[in-house]
């Protein structure tokens, strides 16, 4: 699945977004809790979704949080500036 193949209004389930973004469920939850993920909408009691447009905007944003997704919190905590 390539984000370039879909219109901005096409929806992505949370699971599809995780796969497309290449991140784990836990990292996705952390990003959402920190307000650093694309906007999601509740589409049923147990489902949330975003759009390809939101995903593309998220990828284009200069948010530094995505740069550290593969680092453990311990390594990040001890990093010197």
Tens digits of residue pLDDT in 3-33: 556 788 899 999 999 999 999 999 999 999 9
Identify the pLDDT of residue 62. Answer: 79
Provide long-range contacts, Cβ within 8 A and 24+ apart, for 5-10. Answer: 6/52, 7/52, 7/53, 8/51, 8/52, 8/53, 8/56, 9/51, 9/52, 9/53, 10/51, 10/52
With bands split at pLDDT 50, 70 and 90, how would you rate the model's confidence at 74?
A: very low
């Amino acid at each position: 699945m390539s984000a370039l193949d879909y219109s901005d209004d096409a929806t992505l389930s949370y699971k599809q977004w995780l796969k497309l973004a290449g991140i784990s469920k836990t990292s996705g939850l952390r990003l959402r809790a920190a307000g650093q993920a694309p906007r999601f909408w509740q589409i049923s009691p147990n489902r949330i979704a975003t759009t390809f447009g939101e995903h593309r905007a998220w990828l284009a944003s200069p948010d530094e949080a995505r740069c550290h997704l593969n680092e453990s919190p311990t390594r990040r905590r001890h990093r010197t500036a």
